[in-house]
Amino acid sequence: MSTHLPEATDRDPQETREWIDSLESVVAHEGPERARYILRRVMEAARLHRVEPKGALVSDYVNTIPVADEPNFPGDREMEKRVRRIIRWNAMAMVQRANTKFPGLGGHLSSYASSASFYEVGFNHFFRGPDAEGGGDLIFYQGHAAPGIYSRSFLEGRLPIEAMERFRREAQRGMGLSSYPHPRLMQEYWQFPTVSMGIGPISAIYQARFARYLQNRGIKNTDASHVWAFLGDGECDEPESLGQLSIAAREKLDNLTFVVNCNLQRLDGPVRGNGKIVQELEGIFRGAGWDVIKVIWGPEWDDILARDHEGVLRRHLNTVVDGQFQRFTNAPGAEVRSEFFGKDPRMLEMVAHLSDKQIEGLRRGGHSYRKLYAAFQRVKELKGQGRPVAILAHTVKGWTLGEGFEGVNATHQKKKMGADELKAFRDKLNLPISDASLKDAPFYHPGMDSPEVEYMLERRRQLGGVMPTRRGKIQVPVELPDDTFYHEFHSGMTKGEASTTMVFSRLLAKLIRDKKMGKRVVPIIPDEARTFGMDALFSQVGIYAADGQLYEPIDKGKLLYYKESKSGQVLEEGITEAGAMASFSAAATSYAVFGEPMIPFYIFYSMFGFQRVGDQIWAAGDMLSRGFLLGATAGRTTLNGEGLQHEDGHSLLNALAFTCIKSYDPAFAYELAVIIQDGMKRMYTDEENIFYYITVYNEDITMPPMPGNANWAEKWGKPESAELLEKTRRGILDGIYLYQSADNKLSHHVQLFGSGPIMGRVLEARDLLAEKYGVSADVWSVTSYGELRNDALECDRWNRLHPEADPRTPRISQALAGVEGPFIAASDYVKALPDLLREWIPGRLTSLGTEGYGMSDTREQLRRHFEIDCETITIAVLDALRKEGKVAASVVAQAIKDLGVDADKLDPLHV
Ligand SMILES: Cc1ncc(C[n+]2csc(CCOP(=O)(O)OP(=O)(O)O)c2C)c(N)n1
Ligand SMILES: [Mg+2]
């Protein structure tokens, strides 16, 4: 995409010159606007004749802002340089000291070294703090630049020296500094986790969009707060980094700026050794509709470039590849003169007045405070134009750290400086650190009353307070609906059928209609509303669209039409689980980021959750998200026709690894309602830092009433029981409760566990066992193996560490106290889930489930295949009784035959 045109290919230089002269004359006499106008008209003509230039999106490899347009720098240049130098030193010292004392702790020196000036320009002049009018800016710091951010807080007096000494040593809570930005570990400090490459950028886009959503829906005026995302050029290789750029342009997010640290290196070596990452990124950003400001060269180049009347130098800059530029970072001036400028005598002439030393000192733009200030200021001026902006700043990785670091391929991994390097660094920064103490790389603080610290604090006062700052307490109480709101879901159905997905959809619609909290609900759907039967929401509350609806929808006039609206509530994300997940995180952290608690319900194909965007879900946990994830069309066999890639039977197992997630697999409407009601209370009233994963299915069943309530009493001819109702509620939340006990015990008695739609098959098996095999059963609904396990682990641990205290009893043990096995558990998820409880089950446990790849067929066939249908559950029960010596092997064998199960059928594990 280079704009380079070799001079040698010019067939008629004279003619070319005339064209250029005309243009230059227009610029000189009629101004740039007129020149732009003419060029646009010429381009129109060029397009008409199909001769438009290729790669027109990319400008020359020079600064976007001409020298003449650079604003005056308003700060105290010298003072800011001193501040910057102290921060640079301490950022190095914290990594150096940590690794000297505790080899292997790690950390990074070179990334902050290359980006220090970005942050300092921002902190001293642009980043609006949390107390700024209209709310503070939201900043995504490049993860491994964290030492620089800590060092600034140290100077500001926010972090004591003891904390600086505990970089990457956090196990002793309260003091340590996390390796990277982790809100979960430093809850009053970091706001956004960024170090998993790509997650910062995509989150920033959706964060900026969510700010607009809050604004357009009249929830909060977020106009003043700006989102800044700092990322690496290597990080741009991640699909998440660039994959959603177009949405930022489409939504006109001029409240968003990416600052890409283009040090031309990633971890192992050059980002684009044979190409030009800045140019590549410029084309991508511009193509996606962003404004791009390139900050390529420092002020030392201004004069040289001014001498480039014929464009020879520019053309050369456009062609030299990054690998070569990287080499020049370390090369002596004489070599740069001969190998770089020496390519053309006219270029040599341009630098003839410079000494070799001066040539060596030609800085990259990203290290020039003046150039960066101009770029940031331009961002401010561009606000209101409706376009996000990317600043692409050319830097050197390891800048100022000395020859062993600057631009070398191994720089990313270097955690320590040698004695000579420390000395050189100290000298370069001109800091009063004695030779004797140098070897310890001591922290340096000039004192809270030093001019440097007073200056920087004053700057922050002017800009609205110190950063990073996270305020995680809910400031606006959320008024949640009371019990009566949920009664209809507890009552069951006397006729007709519904799926848990339909029940969820009804509950969600009802929550949205709630006068008090309804506006805080954020339904998020990635192009699957119709699949989940939720399309009614479109016309009911509208799809959020910053532009409103600029067309007449094809289904206008129908009851359920596709309504887009500026105040629409539904985030209809299109086919991007990654984007939808980023929206979820933004909504789920709104209580802390914007001080407005929002309640996201993100519903997706359960298969495309944990395994597709698991890392983003992990980051959502880090961010202390609060909200609901709904894995829809769940179940390996319940979603039957879609086959191998859609049928999920393991997301609940994945969910277990995320300890801040409460995962549930409800079978009935009332279970779902109880879980959501309690979840909202825990997250939005009790302020627990948890969020939920709930599977919902598309199998229709007649929803039963909740044990203990009036309809249940009527159905079963039993007394209504508030006590049983409460016991059931508690059990649902704990993870298990007795759904139906056997009226009469037969010759053998067993315990059956059922979850999700497989509960229906368990109930069928219970009836068959009683009818044909003289086996009675109690049936338990297991809503969460994960919750039960975590509780049991917690009790066991406590008991181990408090051997003399009264032992705590896990909830699973409380529920099953005095209950005799065998126990047979079946669900539409993997056997590994019930297996997790084996240790606490007071008898033999047989786990049935869906290990193996799914396939398409009828539900009946799939359930036979995975051995979780009525007949195969029945066989498993008989086999458990055989193992207990209660029935003969021949009984099981006969049952296999009678029930028509092929004993030699394929093992689903091996599909
Ligand atoms: C998803 C992910 N993969 C790999 C890494 C490991 N990693 C950390 S930093 C880094 C290189 C970063 O290069 P760049 O983005 O150019 O940042 P720089 O340090 O050069 O500014 C890598 C590969 C990571 N943090 N996240
Ligand atoms: Mg890099």
DSSP string for 35-103: HHHHHHHHHHHHHHTT-PPTTTT---SS-SS-GGGPPPP-S-HHHHHHHHHHHHHHHHHHHHHHHHHST
- The residue whose C-alpha atom lies closest to atom 22 belonging to ligand 1 is 267
How much of the chain, in percent, has pLDDT values that exceed 90? 95
Among 317, 321, 357, CA closest to 337: 357
Q: Is the pLDDT of residue 557 over 90?
A: no
pLDDT of residue 4: 53
- CA angle (337 as vertex; 336, 342 as ends), nearest 5: 110
β-strand pairing of 599-605 with 628-632? parallel
- CA-CA distance, 414 to 92, in Å (whole number)? 11
CA of 272 to the centre of ligand 1 (A): 14
Rg (CA), the chain: 33
**Which two structure tokens, joined as six digits, stand for 453?**
């610290």
Taking each helix axis from N to C end, the angle separating 77-101 and 419-429, rounded to the nearest 10 degrees, works out to 160
Bridge partners of 138, per DSSP, are 227
Listed in sequence order, the residues at least 6 apart from 558 whose beta carbon sits closer than 8 Å to its beta carbon are none
Among 745, 796, 799, CA closest to 775: 745
pTM for this structure? 0.96
- The residue whose C-alpha atom lies closest to atom 4 belonging to ligand 1 is 197
Among 297, 429, 318, 278, CA closest to 362: 297
**Do 231 and 143 touch, CB atoms closer than 8 A?**
no
If DSSP codes are grouped into helix, strand and coil, which group holds residue 111? helix
Question: Considering every ligand atom, which ligand is closest to the CA of 145?
Answer: 1
Cα distances (angstroms) measured from residue 427 to each of 81, 421, 422, 432, 439: 14, 10, 9, 9, 14
Among 712, 613, 623, CA closest to 655: 613
Question: Considering every ligand atom, which ligand is closest to the CA of 197?
Answer: 1
Q: Is the pLDDT of residue 5 over 70?
A: no
CA of 113 to the centre of ligand 2 (A): 11
Q: Which atom of ligand 1 is nearest to the CA of 114?
A: 21
Q: Is the pLDDT of residue 854 over 70?
A: yes
Q: Is the pLDDT of residue 151 over 50?
A: yes
- Number of other CB atoms surrounding residue 854 within 10 Å: 25
- The residue whose C-alpha atom lies closest to atom 10 belonging to ligand 1 is 267
How much of the chain, in percent, has pLDDT values that exceed 70? 99
- Is the Cβ atom of 235 under 6 angstroms away from ligand 1? yes
- Is the Cβ atom of 234 under 6 angstroms away from ligand 1? yes
| Ligand 1 pocket mutation pick from 242, 261, 412, 414 by most atoms within 8 angstroms of CB | 412
For the segment 181-204, the average pLDDT, to the nearest whole number, is: 98
- Is the Cβ atom of 397 under 6 angstroms away from ligand 1? yes
CA of 237 to the centre of ligand 1 (A): 10
- CA-CA distance, 354 to 509, in Å (whole number)? 72
- Is the Cβ atom of 111 under 6 angstroms away from ligand 1? yes
Mean pLDDT of the chain: 96
**Do 614 and 651 touch, CB atoms closer than 8 A?**
no
Residue listed under structure tokens 């049991």: 792
Length of the chain: 911
- Is the Cβ atom of 326 under 6 angstroms away from ligand 1? no
**Do 423 and 438 touch, CB atoms closer than 8 A?**
yes
Bond before 705 cis per omega within 30 degrees = no
DSSP H or E run through 138:
strand 138-140
- CA-CA distance, 497 to 702, in Å (whole number)? 4
- Is the Cβ atom of 195 under 6 angstroms away from ligand 1? yes
Predicted confidence band at 402 (pLDDT cuts at 50, 70, 90)?
A: very high
pLDDT of residue 6: 64
Alpha helices, DSSP H, located in 623-779 = 651-656, 669-680, 710-716, 722-734, 758-773
Q: Which atom of ligand 1 is nearest to the CA of 115?
A: 21
- CA-CA distance, 227 to 314, in Å (whole number)? 33
Q: Which atom of ligand 1 is nearest to the CA of 111?
A: 19
The values of phi and psi at residue 322, to 5°, are: -60, -40
**Do 846 and 864 touch, CB atoms closer than 8 A?**
no
String of DSSP letters for 255-281: TEEEEEEE-SB-SSSBSSTTS-HHHHH
- CA-CA distance, 673 to 615, in Å (whole number)? 28
What single-letter DSSP state applies at residue 238?
Answer: S
Q: What is the dihedral of CA 116, 118, 122, 123, to 10 degrees?
A: 0
- Is the Cβ atom of 187 under 6 angstroms away from ligand 1? no
CA of 142 to the centre of ligand 1 (A): 9
- CA-CA distance, 652 to 664, in Å (whole number)? 8
- Is the Cβ atom of 261 under 6 angstroms away from ligand 1? yes
Listed in sequence order, the residues at least 6 apart from 285 whose beta carbon sits closer than 8 Å to its beta carbon are 245, 258, 292, 390, 392
| Ligand 1 pocket mutation pick from 109, 199, 235 by most atoms within 8 angstroms of CB | 235
Amino acid at 651: S
DSSP H or E run through 877:
helix 870-883
- Is the Cβ atom of 265 under 6 angstroms away from ligand 1? yes
- Is the Cβ atom of 196 under 6 angstroms away from ligand 1? yes
- CA-CA distance, 665 to 634, in Å (whole number)? 9
- Is the Cβ atom of 144 under 6 angstroms away from ligand 1? yes
Among 765, 771, 770, CA closest to 753: 765
pLDDT digit string (tens) for 793-820? 999 999 999 999 999 999 999 999 999 9
pLDDT digit string (tens) for 60-74? 999 999 999 999 999
- Is the Cβ atom of 266 under 6 angstroms away from ligand 1? yes
Q: Is the pLDDT of residue 671 over 50?
A: yes
pLDDT of residue 1: 38
In terms of Cβ atoms closer than 10 Å to its own Cβ (0-12, 13-18, 19+), residue 106 is middle
**Do 799 and 807 touch, CB atoms closer than 8 A?**
yes
Among 830, 865, 863, CA closest to 848: 830
Among 643, 592, 625, 777, CA closest to 692: 625
If DSSP codes are grouped into helix, strand and coil, which group holds residue 117? helix
Listed in sequence order, the residues at least 6 apart from 231 whose beta carbon sits closer than 8 Å to its beta carbon are 140, 142, 194, 200, 201, 241, 258, 259, 260, 261
**Do 348 and 342 touch, CB atoms closer than 8 A?**
yes
pLDDT of residue 175: 83
CA of 397 to the centre of ligand 2 (A): 7
- CA-CA distance, 404 to 414, in Å (whole number)? 9
- Is the Cβ atom of 395 under 6 angstroms away from ligand 1? no
CA of 621 to the centre of ligand 1 (A): 21
Predicted confidence band at 2 (pLDDT cuts at 50, 70, 90)?
A: very low
- CA-CA distance, 374 to 586, in Å (whole number)? 30
Q: Is the pLDDT of residue 654 over 60?
A: yes
**Do 371 and 378 touch, CB atoms closer than 8 A?**
no
Q: Is the pLDDT of residue 53 over 90?
A: no
CA of 148 to the centre of ligand 1 (A): 17
**CA 493, chain centre distance (Å):** 40
DSSP H or E run through 613:
helix 610-622
- The residue whose C-alpha atom lies closest to atom 23 belonging to ligand 1 is 267
β-strand pairing of 775-782 with 736-740? antiparallel
